Amino acid sequence: MYDLLVRGGQVVREGGVETADLGVVEGRIVEIAPELTGGAREEIDARGLHVFPGAVDIHVHFNEPGRTEWEGIDTGSRALAAGGGTVFADMPLNSAPPVIDAATLDAKRQVAEGQSYTDFALWGGLTSGNLAWLPDLAEAGAVGFKAFMSNSGLAEFTSPDDLTLYEGMKVARELDRIVALHAENDSITGGLAVRIRAEGGSSCADYLRSRPAIAEVEAVGRALLLAEETGAKIHLVHLSTGRAVALAAEARARGVDVSIETCPHYLSFTGEDMERLGAVLKCAPPLRPQREVDALWSAICEGLIDTIGSDHSPSSLDLKTGEDFFSIWGGIAGVQSTLSVLLTEGRERGLSLPDIARLCARTPAERFGLAGKGRLDPGADADLALVALDTEWVHTQDDLHTRWKFSPYVGRTFRGQVRRTLLRGQTVYQDGHFPHPPQGRFLRPAPIPQEETA
Ligand SMILES: NC(=O)NC(NC(N)=O)C(=O)[O-]
Ligand SMILES: [Zn+2]
Ligand SMILES: [Zn+2]
């Protein structure tokens, strides 16, 4: 007797796609096989649909507590679930206070429990002043430590200097926690911004000039050297250039324990789009020329990129408007669209469905020790996204479940539509609705598996 049988879907697993039933007991997958016999309390007819593992978005800013007017756990996790996601890891900023010690982590955990429609993990910060608090943060369950190598845009979330980063990596290594890096050289980006603004520059093109690719490539190189020296595990968030990815992949090949993330917006838009569409596409690192978009897709197809995170980082609408592009809030609202981008353009570029499941679910879950997440296997949590793979649809503002109905993907035609999302066997999202109260749980990372050295 099962609690749930998901019947006849095309089940997307590591080895391929097969028509099968999924049997679920107490929130876990217990069997996957064609035509399972035996009764079930609930049956879902998944014929004609693809069954993906729920997406694991390791990079979001839901900004609660403290800046809930920008997003919030309730709206952010709804949007994630509507996009086929079942787990997020929230960044230590832009919530206020930022998560830099155990007390601030516990406070965020408390507001998220009872409000989140998906399971969640929490990042702690590695800032200029909190090295001594990292052990307590790890103890409290931080999934890793996030550091900015450039200015974070928020005075209360300071960047460590190179010495602090070096020492922070040593501490993180002792604690077996991953250090995530926003890798842009602050002296280059900050210095150029000051000079360009002093000359009266305030346009999008001026902003683009202030954050050249070399700022990312240099910071990535430095982060890799520090990781190699300290033996720390690092995760490079939102890489935007082919050169930075290549540098990290080379380092990984010689044994540096690094994982590489990019985001859907670097795969979907160019700097020219940013100039055309304006603030909705402002982010850091900035959007790049088409050749970088192509280079990132090639890197994905070659298996060099490990994870896709949304870097969903919205603000209230007033901060996304204004004449001076430098002072507009930097951050893109995309948490609902990650799978759609991969299912549409990823498939056109030659990615298989198991590739998409690996990038969006399996690897992020494994890398960050989120046990039972990210895969469809007996023993795993029944976190599922049911997708109508060949349905073409135009994304409208009304589809958005985020707090602000503001996304660069509005108006885009996608192929592949999430119809239903299940968390531990319970439907959390179905055709625009959320049928049950939020049940999301806090996930504490398991010990991180050792990378096989190439
Ligand atoms: N404070 C932020 O949320 N910053 C984020 N903003 C972006 N990416 O534009 C980020 O991840 O760097
Ligand atoms: Zn960042
Ligand atoms: Zn971010």
Kindly state the average pLDDT of the residues 204-226: 98
Q: pLDDT exceeding 70 applies to what percent of the chain?
A: 98
Pair of tokens at residue 217: 């490539």
pLDDT of residue 447: 74
Separation of 340 CA from ligand 2 center, angstroms?
22
Per DSSP bridges, beta strands 413-423 and 2-13 are: unpaired
Does residue 219 surpass a pLDDT of 70? yes
Q: Of the candidates 30, 16, 31, 27, which has an alpha carbon nearest to the alpha carbon of residue 54?
A: 27
Statement: residue 241 has pLDDT above 60: yes
For residue 258, is pLDDT > 50?
Answer: yes
Q: Between helices 213-230 and 242-253, what is the axis angle to 10°?
A: 10
pLDDT for the residue 281: 98
* Residue among 105, 52, 90, 126 nearest 356 (CA): 52
In this structure, are residues 399 and 79 in contact, taking their beta carbons and an 8 Å threshold? no
Return the domain boundaries, the chain.
Answer: 2-51+380-394+410-430, 54-367
Q: What pLDDT is recorded for position 450?
A: 62
78: nearest Cα among 396, 381, 432: 432
| pLDDT score recorded for residue 331 | 98
Which tens digits make up the pLDDT trace of 283-314?
999 999 999 999 999 999 999 999 999 999 99
Nearest-atom index, ligand 1, CA of 59: 11
Q: What is the mean pLDDT of residues 213-222?
A: 99
The mean pLDDT of 272-290, rounded to a whole number, is 97
Is 182 annotated to bind a ligand? Reply is yes
**Residue 265 beta carbon below 6 angstroms from any ligand 1 atom:** no
User: What's the rounded Cα separation, in Å, for the pair 407 and 413?
Assistant: 14
Q: Is 405 annotated as a binding residue?
A: no
Which residues sit opposite 124 in a β-bridge? 145
ipTM score over 0.85, yes or no: yes
**Is 2-51+380-394+410-430's fold the same as 54-367's?**
no
Cβ of residue 182 lying under 6 Å from some atom of ligand 1: yes
Question: Can you tell me which residue has the tokens 């307590």?
Answer: 136
pLDDT at 451 over 90: no
- What mean pLDDT comes out for the span 94-109? 98
How far apart CA 387 and CA 451 sit, in angstroms, is: 32
Question: Model's pTM, two decimal places?
Answer: 0.98
At 452 the pLDDT is 54
**Which residue in this structure is represented by tokens 């009764």?**
39
Helix, strand, or coil (residue 236)? strand
Q: Which atom of ligand 1 is nearest to the CA of 182?
A: 12
Pocket test for ligand 1, best of 58, 61, 186 (most atoms within 8 A of CB): 61
Residue 371 to residue 442: CA distance in whole angstroms: 12
Task: Give the model's confidence band at 373: pLDDT under 50 very low, under 70 low, under 90 confident, else very high.
Answer: very high
Q: Which residue from 70, 283, 315, 335 has its CB within 8 A of the most atoms of ligand 1, so it is best to mutate?
A: 283
Quickly tell me which residue has 């090639």 as its tokens: 298
In the sheet with 124-125, reading across from the earlier edge strand, the strands are 124-125, 144-148, 178-182, 234-236, 258-262, 307-308
The pLDDT of residue 454 is 42
pLDDT tens string 36-82? 998 999 999 999 999 999 999 999 999 999 999 999 999 999 999 99
Average pLDDT over every residue of 77-102: 98
Q: How many residues are there in the chain?
A: 454
Long-range contacts of 162-167 (CB under 8 A, 24+ apart): 162/222, 162/226, 164/126, 164/128, 164/131, 165/126, 165/223, 165/226, 166/226, 166/229, 166/230, 167/131
Q: Is the pLDDT of residue 326 over 80?
A: yes
Place of tokens 């902003």: 207
What is the distance in A from the centroid of ligand 2 to the CA of 443?
A: 22
How is domain 54-367 classified at the architecture level of CATH?
Answer: Alpha-Beta Barrel (3.20)
Place 449 in a pLDDT band, splitting at 50, 70 and 90.
low
Among 41, 40, 39, 21, residue whose Cα is nearest residue 31: 21
pLDDT-based confidence at residue 262 (cuts at 50, 70, 90): very high
The vertex-281 CA angle with 280 and 286, nearest 5°, equals 150
- When computed from its CA atoms, the radius of gyration of the chain, rounded to whole angstroms, is 21
Residue type, 391: T
Cα of 59 to ligand 3 centre, how many Å?
A: 6
pLDDT in tens, 400-422: 999 999 999 999 999 999 999 99
Domain 2-51+380-394+410-430: CATH architecture, name and number where available: Roll (2.30)
The answer to whether the CB of 212 is under 6 A from ligand 1 is no
Q: Tell me: pLDDT of 453 over 60.
A: no
Rounded mean pLDDT, 201-221: 98
**Per-residue pLDDT reduced to its tens digit, 156-168:** 999 999 999 999 9
Give the separation between CA 223 and CA 79, rounded to whole angstroms: 33
